[in-house]
C-alpha cells in the first residue's frame, strides 16, 4: 500500500468530524464540510482521469483567483497522482507561456477574466485541455448538491470498502504533487517541487509550534500561486481538522471584520499588512478576543507596531520560511517579541540548521553566514532544472541564499539575502541592519536599502523610503539619523522617496523593482 495511506487527511476527518465545516468562502458564503471535501476530491480525481486524460504524473495548471473549488481540485489531483500548477494571474502572456511550456500541463483551468492573457500564448505551449473555471465551479456545485440530496448510506464514510465512490491516493510520498513557480528574480521563474511529504511535515511543524487544534479558525487571503496560500495555514488546518475562511485578496477592513465575526483564533500578516490593518477604520472597533496571536513573516516588525497590536490584545509571533523548505521553518515565541525584536526565533521541529561562510565553514555566534537547512520538509528540487537543483541542494543541505546570524542564546536573525549584500569601500553592508535602524525614525512608514554604483566606494547604500501621511522628511534628516547608530560605511549616501514601495503578492517589498526604478530616475 502507498505510504500515503495514513496521510489521507480528508478521509480521516470525513469519518471523525463529517459535519464540521472545513472551508468557507468569505464572499459567496459557500462552504464545504470535511465529508463533502473528501467526496469531491474523489469525484474530481475520477473526472480528471476520465475526461481530461490526466494520469499519474500529469500536470494540471490553474489560472484563477482564490476560489473554494480550488481546494477539492488540488486534493483531486493528489488522489489522481497528478501535480497542480497554480499560475500567477498577474503575469503577462509571455510569463504565463513560460510556466505552461515548462510544466507541459495536460489541462488548464482558467477564469474568464484571464482568457485574454492566453491570447499571446503559443498553441504549442497551451495545454491539450482548457477548462473554464466558471464551468468547473458550476459542475462542482451540481455534484455537491446531488451528494447532499443522496441517501445517508451513500454519504456515510466508514472505510475504503464501504464507500462506493472512494478513490485511494495515488500520489507518492516523495514525488511532486504541486509545482510553485518562483518570482524569477534572477531570470526565468523556477518551479519548486512540493511533495506530500513536505506538506505533512510542514503541517506537523506548524501544529507543534503554533499549538493548533480542531477548534482553530483562520482567515486566509494569500493567493494560491504563493506557498502561503496553501501552507500558511490552509494545509496545516486541514490536517488538524480546523476551519478556514477564504478571501480572494487582502482587504484590511474586511479581514478585521471577518476575524471578529468568524471568531478567528490566529491572524497572519507581513509588517506591511499588519500596519495597514492597524491603520484601518475598523481596528479600534473590532473585538479580537479569540485571536491568540498573529504570526508575522517577511521582515521584522517595528517595536511601535508590535506594541500597537499587543495593546489590542494580539501578541506577535515572528516567523521565517521559504517555498522550497516548509515554508514554516523558524518561529519566535510571542513572549520574546520585544526582548528579541528582529529575531525569527528558533528552528521548528525536525529541522537542522547550519550557518556557514563563503568556504562552507560553520561560523560562531554573532557572525553572519549563509543559512543551510536539512530535514523532511526540503524540496526534492526544481522542475526540469537539474542545474538549479544541484546548486541549491548539496550533500543533503539546502542552500537558502539567506544571510543570518545567531546570538549567544541561539536566537536567529536574518541579515538579508546573499545577493542583496553589497560591498562599500571593501566592507560588507547588510541592508537589513540599516533598515532596522531607519525603521525607528517615526516619519518613516516603509524603508528598503539597496546597493547602488558609486565611483569612489564601488557601491553605496540608497535608502528607498515612504513617509507617514502628514509628515515630512528630507534626505539630510534620514542620513543624520544614522550618524550615531551605524558605522560610517553603512550609512546610506542616497535617499529616494516613494509614495509607496513596490510589493509582491505576500506584501513583501520588491527590491528588484526598486533597482529598476532607480535606474530610470
Q: Which three cell numbers stand for residue 510?
A: 520588491
Q: Which residues contact 468 (CB under 8 A, 6 or more apart)?
A: 442, 443, 444, 445
Cell 464545504 locates to 32
Per-residue pLDDT tens digits for 61-109? 999 999 999 999 999 999 999 999 999 998 888 889 999 999 999 999 9
Per-residue pLDDT tens digits for 193-203? 999 999 999 99
Domains and CATH numbers, the chain: 3-194 (3.40.50.12780), 249-417 (3.40.50.12780), 422-520 (3.30.300.30)
Q: Which residues contact 12 (CB under 8 A, 6 or more apart)?
A: none
Per-residue pLDDT tens digits for 127-181? 989 999 999 999 999 999 999 998 887 777 655 555 667 788 888 899 999 999 9
Buried b (16+ CB within 10 A) or exposed e, 417-433: bbebbbebeeeebbbbb
Q: Which three cell numbers stand for residue 255?
A: 479581514
Q: Of 517 and 200, which is predicted with more confidence?
A: 200
What's the number of CA atoms in the CB half-sphere (13 Å) around residue 255? 27
What is d(CA 96, CA 205) in angstroms, rounded to the nearest whole number?
33
Q: Burial level of 294, CB count in 10 A (0-12/13-18/19+)?
A: buried
Q: What is the DSSP letter of 378?
A: B
Residue 477: CB atoms within 10 A of its CB come to: 12
The dihedral over CA atoms of 7, 10, 14, 19, expressed in degrees to the nearest 10, equals: 140
Reported pTM: 0.86
Per-residue pLDDT tens digits for 220-261? 999 999 999 999 999 999 999 999 999 999 999 999 999 999
Cell 542620513 locates to 479
In percent, how much of the chain has pLDDT > 70?
A: 95
Q: Which residues contact 89 (CB under 8 A, 6 or more apart)?
A: 63, 64, 65, 111, 113, 114, 117, 223, 225
- Residue 23: which of 11, 15, 14, 31 has the closest Cα? 31
Amino acid at each position: 500500500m502507498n505510504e500515503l495511506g495514513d496521510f489521507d487527511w480528508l478521509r480521516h476527518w470525513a469519518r471523525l468530524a463529517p459535519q464540521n465545516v472545513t472551508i468557507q468562502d468569505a464572499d459567496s458564503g459557500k462552504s464545504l464540510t470535511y465529508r463533502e471535501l473528501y467526496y469531491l476530491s474523489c469525484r474530481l480525481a475520477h473526472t480528471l482521469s476520465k475526461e481530461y486524460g490526466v494520469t499519474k504524473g500529469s500536470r494540471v495548471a490553474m489560472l484563477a483567483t482564490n476560489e473554494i473549488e480550488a481546494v477539492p481540485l488540488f486534493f483531486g489531483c493528489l488522489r489522481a497522482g497528478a501535480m497542480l500548477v497554480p499560475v500567477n494571474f498577474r503575469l503577462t502572456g509571455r510569463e504565463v507561456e513560460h510556466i505552461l511550456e515548462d510544466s507541459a500541463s495536460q489541462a488548464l483551468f482558467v477564469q474568464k477574466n484571464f482568457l485574454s492573457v492566453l491570447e499571446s500564448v503559443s498553441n504549442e505551449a497551451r495545454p491539450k485541455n482548457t477548462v473554464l473555471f466558471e464551468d468547473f465551479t458550476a459542475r462542482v456545485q451540481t455534484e455537491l448538491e446531488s451528494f447532499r440530496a443522496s441517501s445517508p448510506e451513500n454519504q456515510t464514510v466508514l472505510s475504503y470498502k464501504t464507500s462506493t465512490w472512494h478513490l485511494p491516493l495515488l500520489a507518492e510520498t516523495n514525488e511532486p504533487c504541486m509545482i510553485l513557480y518562483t518570482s524569477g528574480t534572477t531570470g526565468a521563474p523556477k518551479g519548486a517541487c512540493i511533495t506530500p511529504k513536505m506538506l505533512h511535515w510542514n503541517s506537523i511543524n506548524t501544529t507543534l509550534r503554533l499549538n493548533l487544534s480542531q477548534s482553530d479558525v483562520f482567515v486566509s487571503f494569500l493567493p494560491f500561486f504563493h506557498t502561503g496560500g496553501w501552507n500558511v495555514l490552509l494545509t496545516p488546518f486541514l490536517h488538524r481538522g480546523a476551519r478556514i475562511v477564504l478571501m480572494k485578496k487582502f482587504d484590511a477592513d474586511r479581514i478585521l471584520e471577518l476575524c471578529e465575526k468568524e471568531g478567528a483564533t490566529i491572524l497572519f500578516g507581513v509588517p506591511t499588512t499588519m500596519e495597514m490593518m492597524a491603520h484601518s477604520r475598523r481596528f479600534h472597533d473590532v473585538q479580537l478576543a479569540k485571536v491568540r496571536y498573529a504570526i508575522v513573516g517577511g521582515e521584522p516588525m517595528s517595536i511601535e507596531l508590535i506594541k500597537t497590536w499587543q495593546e489590542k490584545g494580539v501578541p506577535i509571533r515572528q516567523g521565517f520560511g521559504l517555498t522550497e523548505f516548509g515554508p514554516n521553518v523558524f518561529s519566535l515565541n510571542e513572549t520574546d517579541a520585544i526582548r528579541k525584536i528582529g529575531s525569527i526565533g528558533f528552528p521548528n521541529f525536525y529541522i537542522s540548521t547550519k550557518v556557514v561562510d563563503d568556504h562552507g565553514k560553520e561560523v560562531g555566534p554573532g557572525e553572519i553566514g549563509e543559512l543551510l537547512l536539512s530535514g523532511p520538509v526540503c524540496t526534492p528540487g526544481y522542475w526540469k532544472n537539474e542545474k538549479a537543483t544541484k546548486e541549491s541542494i548539496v550533500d543533503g543541505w539546502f542552500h537558502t541564499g539567506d544571510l543570518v546570524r545567531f546570538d549567544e542564546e541561539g536566537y536567529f536573525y536574518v541579515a538579508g539575502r546573499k545577493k542583496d549584500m553589497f560591498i562599500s569601500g571593501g566592507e560588507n553592508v547588510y541592508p537589513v541592519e540599516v533598515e532596522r535602524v531607519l525603521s525607528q525614525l517615526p516619519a518613516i512608514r516603509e524603508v528598503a536599502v539597496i546597493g547602488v554604483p558609486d565611483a569612489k566606494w564601488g557601491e553605496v547604500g540608497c535608502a528607498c523610503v515612504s513617509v507617514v501621511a502628514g509628515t515630512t522628511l528630507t534626505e539630510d534628516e534620514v542620513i543624520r539619523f544614522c550618524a550615531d547608530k551605524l558605522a560610517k560605511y553603512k550609512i546610506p549616501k542616497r535617499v529616494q522617496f516613494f509614495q509607496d514601495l513596490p510589493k509582491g503578492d505576500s506584501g513583501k517589498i520588491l527590491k528588484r523593482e526598486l533597482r529598476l526604478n532607480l535606474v530610470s530616475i
